[in-house]
Structure 1
Amino acid sequence: MNIAEFKENLSTLNEIIYFDKGQYLREKTSKPIILNQIISQGEGLLESLKENDKYFLYGSLGNLYRINEQPQKAINCLTYCLNQAVVERNPTREIVSLIRLGEALKYDNNHKKALDHFNKALGMCEAHKIDEYLDFVLQHKGKCLMELAMLNEAEECFQKALILRKSKGNRSLIDSTEQAIELVKEMQR
């Protein structure tokens, strides 16, 4: 297995990952055996990779561990990514890493620290004028606020994310945000 084959396997994950409405739209898998196989493949590649591929692989593994309900492993991988981004002085990678690490922290029930990461990512988007990830920051911050029962604040994040996502025109992102708005409105009743 090489990194190209691993990336190809990652593309099949959309078929086995879903948003669990009963768990605040957290990502879950319908096929844990397949998810574990892909994680094992990624772990097997770690030793032989160049630094740039390691960032990608640790980021991917971090997300997979989070979905696989292994938040500590996810936090370890995604902390590596964040540290790399800081060393490289790469604000785009730092924003992405902050979002991913924030999600892992949320899955580890550390909502306050997760919000700190989302807020830092928001600040970096504004400071560096990097708009391409702003909708993701708002979406994930909103979901974290929703889990904390801060429903008005969550809805505000989702509404801002929806505007950005409609301007992007990506139907799956729009659907994801509309689903979050629908859930937060149900919770407000």
Structure 2
Amino acid sequence: MLTDFKNSLSSLNEIIYFDDNQFLREKTRDAVRLQQHIDVAIELLKSTLNEEEEYFVRGTLGNLYRINGEPQKAINNLNFCLNYAKEGQLTSKEVVSLIRLGEALKYNNNHNEALNKFNRALERCQSNNLDNYIDFVQQHKGKCLMELSRLDEAEECFLDALRIRKQKGNPELISSTQKAIDLLSSSLESDVK
């Protein structure tokens, strides 16, 4: 059942989008389908899972709840993931959990707490040479700062993310950051007017 659930997750790309009118927050085009995935994840948690599998299901569930407009449920699941990663000294999982938790906190309008999580993730990346996550941290931190109208700081984050993503050469990631920069630019222009 877990394997089927993992395989079904790629279909979510069809129904999830970044809302230009909501600072590129993730939204769904099909709440019923999203809820079906949430329901499957909840059922999986009732089955016998090892800790690693529970980490995966709760991390996924946290993201799905966030997109579904239930950030508190997201936070609860993602706190589990963060604790699991810290207890196991799994630094890359800790960084991923901090980013996901930061996003859920942002969706729950706890922007300053979200920034603390993003900063902690950045610190963990830098102190453990986890360079492959820095662009993700900077992207999410930049979007959080943009929501707080801290536009100059947001721009610094986006430009750092873009520089790293160009080095990685991943067109999807580059496009995602460019979209954030474009939105930021339009915000800066409207502030000038």
- What interval of TM-score do these two structures reach, taking the shorter chain for normalisation? over 0.9
In the alignment, residue 55 of structure 1 is paired with which amino acid?
A: Y
How far apart are 1:62 and its partner, in Å? Answer: 0.2
Q: Measure, in 2, the Cα distance between the counterparts of 1:143 and 1:99.
A: 12
2:56 corresponds to: 56
SS at match of 1:132: helix
Cα deviation digits, residues 157-184 of structure 1 (max 9, x gap): 0000001111111111111100000000
Q: Measure, in 2, the Cα distance between the counterparts of 1:15 and 1:171.
A: 19
Q: Any gaps of 5 or more consecutive residues in structure 1?
A: none
1:169 corresponds to: 169
How far apart are 1:46 and its partner, in Å? Answer: 0.4
1:35 corresponds to: 34
Which portions of structure 1, spanning 4 or more consecutive aligned residues, are displaced by more than 4 angstroms? none
1:6 corresponds to: 5
In the alignment, residue 141 of structure 1 is paired with which amino acid?
A: K
Q: Measure, in 2, the Cα distance between the counterparts of 1:18 and 1:121.
A: 25
Q: Measure, in 1, the Cα distance between the counterparts of 2:95 and 2:178.
A: 23
1:158 corresponds to: 158
1:68 corresponds to: 68
In the alignment, residue 93 of structure 1 is paired with which amino acid?
A: K
In the alignment, residue 44 of structure 1 is paired with which amino acid?
A: E
SS at match of 1:89: coil
Q: Measure, in 2, the Cα distance between the counterparts of 1:112 and 1:134.
A: 19
1:85 corresponds to: 85
In the alignment, residue 37 of structure 1 is paired with which amino acid?
A: Q
In the alignment, residue 18 of structure 2 is paired with which amino acid?
A: F
Q: Measure, in 1, the Cα distance between the counterparts of 2:138 and 2:78.
A: 19
How far apart are 1:109 and its partner, in Å? Answer: 0.1
1:100 corresponds to: 100
2:20 corresponds to: 21
Cα deviation digits, residues 113-148 of structure 1 (max 9, x gap): 000000000000000010111000000000000000
SS at match of 1:28: strand
Give the count of matched residue pairs.
188
Q: Any gaps of 5 or more consecutive residues in structure 2?
A: none
* Alignment of structure 1 residues 111-130 onto 2, 5 Å: 111-130=111-130
